[in-house]
Every structure is written in C-alpha cells, then in structure tokens.
Amino acid sequence: MKMKKEVHIFCKQILRRLHQVQFRRRAKECFIFLVIVIILYYFLYKNEERSTYILQEDQVYFSINQEIKYLINTSQCKIPKSNPYSEDIIDFINKEQYDKCSTKTLLSYINKTNDIVTLHFNRSAQKEYSYFSIGCCYSNITRINYEKLVDDQIRLTDCIPFEDSVELKYPYVSVKCSTFFSVVYSNVHAVTFSISKKPKKPSGKPKFSIMMLGIDSVSKSNIERTMPESFKWAESNMINLKGYNKIGDNTFPNLMAILTGYNVDQLSKFCNRTVKLNSCKIIWDKFKESQYITGYAEDDCNINTFHYDRPGFLEEPTDYYYRPYFLAAETLHTVLRKNMIYCAGPETSGERIQNAAKDFAVTFKDVPSFGLFWSNSYSHDNINMPGAMDKKMLQLLSSTEFFEAINNTILIFFSDHGFRFGGIRFTHTGWVEERLPFIYFRFPDLFKHSYPEQYNNFITNTNRLTSPYDIYNTLQNILNIGNDSYVPSWSQGCPSCHSLFAEIPENRTCKDAGISKHWCTCQGHTYIKPNHPKVIEVSKFVVNETNNILLTTKGGSLCAKYSLNKVMTSGMSEPYWNEDHKYVHFFLVMLETSPKASFEATVEASFEERNRSFKLLGDISRIDRYGPVTECITDNGYLRKYCYCRNKI
C-alpha cells in the first residue's frame, strides 16, 4: 500500500514537471509570436504612416464613398449612379429645341419601289420658292481619283436636267433647281441600292445582322437628361450595360477598341496618322469576308473618327461608304449651332444620318449586314444639344418600318464617352459622366431562343464592369455564331477581356477590363481642399509632365511652357498596395495653368520621407476648349491637346 502511494506521488511530480516545461515552452512561443507581430506592425504601419497621409476633418470637402446608389455594386467595383440633375451641374443644364433647317417643303425626294430608285421633282411645292418657272437637274456624286485627296474631296458629274422624275443608278446625287434668274434650291440625296453576296458555303445557321447607332459624347446620365423620350424607349425595349466604362480620352481610342480590339499604342504600329487607314484591321472587314453587306456613315466631316488628324481611307472601307454624300451636303449652305454643323442644306445633319441608317436597314432586312452610323453634329460641342434631336431619334427607333427591318438584327445604341470640356468637367458629376457613355443592346427573338445560355450570360453581365474591348469580342463571337468555321480573333488590347456572351467574373477590376485608373470609376475618392500641400506637390508634377510632352514631341517648340496657376478640384483615394509593393494613394487633380489651360490627371503618390514618388495613371486630359490657341499645330492632334501656341500669348 505504501509502495503504491509513493508511486502515485512520484507520478504527480512528473506530471507537474511536464506542465511546467510545457508552460515555459508555450510562454516562449507566445513571446516569439508577440515579437514578430510587433516587428510586422512596425514595418507595415510605420510604412503606411510615412507614405500616406491622414486627412484632418477640416481638409475634407466630401467623400464619394458615401454615395448610396450605384449603377453596379460588385466586390471590386462600385460605380456611383449620378443624379442627372445634381446641384453641382444645374447651372450648366438647359433645354434645346429642334429647329427646322428650312420652312419650305423640299423640292426633291427619293422613292424606292421593287429596287427601282426614282428621284422626283415636287412640283406641288414650287410656289414656295418662286412664281417663275423652275427647272431642276441632278449630278452624280463620286470620289475623286487623286490618292492624297481621295477622302476629302468629291466630283460632281454634269448636271442632267429632268422633268418630273428620273430613275437613278448612283447612290449619291446632287440636285439644283433654278429659275431663269437664280438657283432657288440645292440639296443632296443618299440612296442605298440592293446588292447581294453569294455565300461561300451555306452553314445552315442564322446570321444576325449588326446595326450600330452612335451619338458622340453622351453619357448615361446625359441621354436621360437631354433625350428623355429616346431614353425611355431604350429602357423599355433594349438592355442597358450599366457598368460600361470608357478606356480612352476621345472617340478614336474608344471606338477603335470596339472596331479593332487594339489599344492606341498597338494601332500606331500599323494604323498611324500618316498612312491611309485601310490597314487598320477593322472588324467590318471580317464581316465582309463572312458575306455581310457593310455600311459606314458619319456626319460633321471635319471631326470624323477617321479624318480628324488622320488621313481617312484610300479605298472605300465598306460596301456603302457615305462620306462623299456628307462632304457634298456640307458644300451646301450650312448653319452652325453651338459650333456644330446642325444644318447641311435644307436638312439637319442628324436626320441625314438617321435616314441613311433606316434606308440601309430596310434595304438589307433579308440579308446579313453590318452598319455603323455615327452622329457628331448635335452632341460633340454642347452637352445640351442632343435634346434637339430627341424626338427625331425616337421617330427612327420606334418607326414600324425600321423596327420590322431589324427583326433579325442585333441593335446597338451607344456613345463613346461623356462630355469632355468646359466648366461642367470641374464638378464631381461631370467627372463621373465623362467616363460613362450610354450603351444599349436589343436582340432578336430568334437569338434569345437559339442561344439561351449566351443571352442569359449577357443579362448577368449588365451588372458587371464592361469596356469597349468586350464589345469587340462580342462582335467576334457573333461572327462565329453564324459560321462555325470562323475562328474569332480576340482583343489584343485587353487579353483578359470577354465576349458578353460568356459570364464576366463578379470580382472583375478595371485592370481586368483594360481600363486605366485614370478612367476607372470603380474606386471612390475623397475630395480635399485644393490648397492642400500634397495636392500642390502632385499638381506641380502634372504640370512638369505636360511640359515634358511638349519638349519631347516634334513641333512642341511652338508651344509655351506651363506653370501652375491654381488647382480647381482635387481628390484622394484610400491607401492601397501598388504593383511595386508600395503603400500609396492616387490623387485626382484638375488644375489651371499659366498661360491659361485646364488639365486633369490621376497620379499615384507615395510620400515616404526618403523615397517620394509620383506616377501618372493613364493620360493627362485637356478639359478646356482649346481651339484657337492651338492653331500653330496643324498636323498632330496629340500635341494640339497639350499646346498653347507661343504666338497666342
């Protein structure tokens, strides 16, 4: 019994010793863990403290992260929904009404019956023009044969008299009507003749046509504000890509991302400012090869996508290329409205585009077609002017003839970006709107029934972040849907981008969508006082970078050197880890220089004491109307954007 008790005591002592050893070991482990935490805290927190800036309450204007409503709200992207009538832009908003270009009835019109096209003289209206006898003649409008001028000038054939009507054989005609004393009427007409292409090999699968109706410089909020009737129709009859974000400054990069899948740097290697643009690998070439009829029209010829600071096309790029028609229209009496060619002869430029789009759709309603019809003339230079064409656009979209013609067509109604210039751009709402163009899709019932998975994925993607590169991939996908042997050529400008018929990941970032931080609307920022020392430091960096562009670009010596005058608007993001493993902020600055110009930039900034660094995130935007002060630069639109001519000071 005693032996047993001694063994029991011995065992208890052993266990006590073991517990003591384990406690010491655990205590040692806890101590080591605590030391590691303190070291990590020191390096991480202190690094944040050195490289970032904590705002005081009196330095904050307001935080964009406090927005309640979002267009899309995903784990990596929250795009704020702007109020179209927000207080910060209300002073820039007014209503614009439609004005006729002539109070008189047109003396000429076109009629199409069973593929026979007839030009008519409207004799019932001649008394509106003169009590004297009126005679009319017509000329065919053609491109000239000189290589350098082929896309900038036209030739008219001899004017052939006609009585009441005459059958036409050419797509574009000029009409003049005169009394013995003077010309009383001039106009031009465009006609889309029916042509067909024999398929190389019947695939047995339906080919869906594409109709792209574009309006320059109209944001999601601005179409709601200025074109409420067209907006209401689109909301009821089409599908809105709520998270669609632009990828570049102006029309060219955003539209070319849709049409080629390339970014501007890639395009410059084979599609630059000095070479005719037939080599640009535009997607309508692929539609042509797939036996589609193709068409392209754009008004306000001086600022066309392919002609502003670019040489245009040597050969006609599409089966129907309406540029000769619009060049001829702009030789007529033009009326500028808000600095845009609102009237080209007795008709508005906007209605000429709409009529061409309708004629193209109706003519080729039974054959596969691809058409791009783009308007600048009532939107490019004024944020309110789209309202003047609201009812006319609604008439096109809702007309029975047009609606029936696009029964087998995927309709895309869209813009390239929001409004880019003027006082509205110094507001938060203007900043958001400029980056968020409107875009709507409409699919034929046959598509929905034949491809339910693709259609459902598209619906899912309406609440995801999307970009122009996704539209390009979707067009490639449509070509493949109509022809199994077609091998899609996916976007090179954004290798991580998707067709909208494949589900886009919920956690998609702007980088994934090919959108630089400068254009990205996913991440909120806090507006801070423009005189904040960090803001001034960042702004001076932006001015220096602008001056470096002038120094390193041919012709830049004609431009004045800038200095910072004042900061108009400034914002700062929450801190984040960048790709170089630095803890940084990005700063948004809108500034004014001397000589007077206005710029906007997004800058990544690290304020470490020994290693301060600044990095531009994307382009520097020019946000004032710079027209006359850049006239010394005649052949470089990129340089013109940054220049203030020395001889204008």
Question: Which of 271-280, 323-332, 336-345 is least confident?
Answer: 271-280
pLDDT at 115: 85
Query: What does pLDDT average to over the chain?
Result: 90
Percent of the chain having pLDDT more than 90? 76
pLDDT digit string, tens, across residues 536-548: 999 999 999 999 9
pLDDT above 60 for 85: yes
pLDDT at 12: 53
Burial class (CB in 10 A: 0-12, 13-18, 19+), 405: buried
pLDDT above 50 for 130: yes
Q: Which of 379, 378, 465, 468 is nearest to 421 (CA)?
A: 379
pLDDT at 277: 86
State the angle between helix axes of 349-363 and 390-398 in degrees (0 to 180), rounded to the nearest 10.
Answer: 10
Cα–Cα distance, 403 to 407 (Å, whole number): 7
Of 211 and 202, the structure prediction assigns the larger pLDDT to 211
| Angle in degrees, CA 320, 321, 322, rounded to 5 | 110
pLDDT above 70 for 550: yes
pLDDT at 571: 94
Q: Which residues contact 39 (CB under 8 A, 6 or more apart)?
A: none
Q: Which residues contact 182 (CB under 8 A, 6 or more apart)?
A: none
State phi, psi for 262 to the nearest 5 degrees: -100, 155
pLDDT above 70 for 48: no
Mean pLDDT calculated for residue range 305-330: 93
Given a contact cutoff of 8 angstroms between Cβ atoms, the answer to whether 119 and 137 are in contact is no
Structure tokens at 474: 């979707």
Q: Which residues contact 150 (CB under 8 A, 6 or more apart)?
A: 143, 144, 312, 313, 314
pLDDT at 44: 42
Cα–Cα distance, 75 to 509 (Å, whole number): 9
pLDDT at 523: 84
Residue whose entry in the numeric block shows the structure tokens 């032996």: 3
Strands 465-466 and 340-344, by their bridges, are unpaired
Q: How confident is the model at residue 481 (pLDDT cuts 50, 70, 90)?
A: very high
pLDDT digit string, tens, across residues 506-517: 999 999 999 999
Mean pLDDT calculated for residue range 144-160: 86
pLDDT above 80 for 2: no
pLDDT at 465: 99
pLDDT above 90 for 237: yes
pLDDT digit string, tens, across residues 431-447: 999 999 999 999 999 99
Query: Around Cβ 476, how many Cβ atoms within 10 Å?
Result: 20
pLDDT at 34: 56
Q: Which residues contact 200 (CB under 8 A, 6 or more apart)?
A: 291
Question: Hey, what amino acid is at 649?
Answer: I
- Helix (DSSP H) and strand (DSSP E) numbers for the chain: 16, 30
pLDDT at 22: 54
Question: Which of 23-32, 580-589, 596-605 is least confident?
Answer: 23-32
Question: Which of 216-225, 522-531, 595-604 is least confident?
Answer: 522-531
pLDDT at 382: 97
pLDDT above 60 for 584: yes
CA trace torsion 346, 349, 350, 355 (10° rounding) = 70
pLDDT above 70 for 560: yes
Q: Which of 511, 505, 471 is nearest to 491 (CA)?
A: 471
pLDDT above 60 for 33: no
C-beta contacts of 99-103 below 8 A and 24+ residues apart: 99/337, 99/342, 99/388, 101/335, 101/342, 101/343, 101/344, 101/345, 101/346, 101/347, 101/348, 102/346, 102/347
pLDDT above 70 for 302: yes
pLDDT above 90 for 124: yes
pLDDT at 580: 81
Sign for the pseudo-dihedral over CA of 163, 401, 259, 309 = positive
Given a contact cutoff of 8 angstroms between Cβ atoms, the answer to whether 168 and 118 are in contact is yes
Query: Around Cβ 95, how many Cβ atoms within 10 Å?
Result: 9
Q: How confident is the model at residue 27 (pLDDT cuts 50, 70, 90)?
A: low
Cα–Cα distance, 21 to 23 (Å, whole number): 5
Q: What is the pTM of this model?
A: 0.89
Cα–Cα distance, 519 to 248 (Å, whole number): 7
Mean pLDDT calculated for residue range 206-227: 98
Mean pLDDT calculated for residue range 593-622: 92
DSSP 8-state symbol, 645: B
Structure tokens at 475: 């067009």
Buried b (16+ CB within 10 A) or exposed e, 119-157: bebbeebbeebbeeebebbbbbbebeeeeeebbbebebe
C-beta contacts of 13-18 below 8 A and 24+ residues apart: none
**What is the DSSP track for 582-611?**
-EEEEEEEEEEEESS-EEEEEEEEEE-SS-
pLDDT digit string, tens, across residues 354-390: 999 999 999 999 999 999 999 999 999 999 999 999 9
Mean pLDDT calculated for residue range 421-425: 94
Given a contact cutoff of 8 angstroms between Cβ atoms, the answer to whether 403 and 365 are in contact is no
| Sheet (strand 165-167) strand order | 108-113, 116-121, 165-167
State phi, psi for 484 to the nearest 5 degrees: -60, -25
Q: 3-class SS at 549?
A: helix
Mean pLDDT calculated for residue range 333-344: 97
**What is the DSSP track for 342-370?**
EEETTEEHHHHHHHHHHHHHHHTTTS-EE
Question: Hey, what amino acid is at 503?
Answer: E
pLDDT at 10: 47
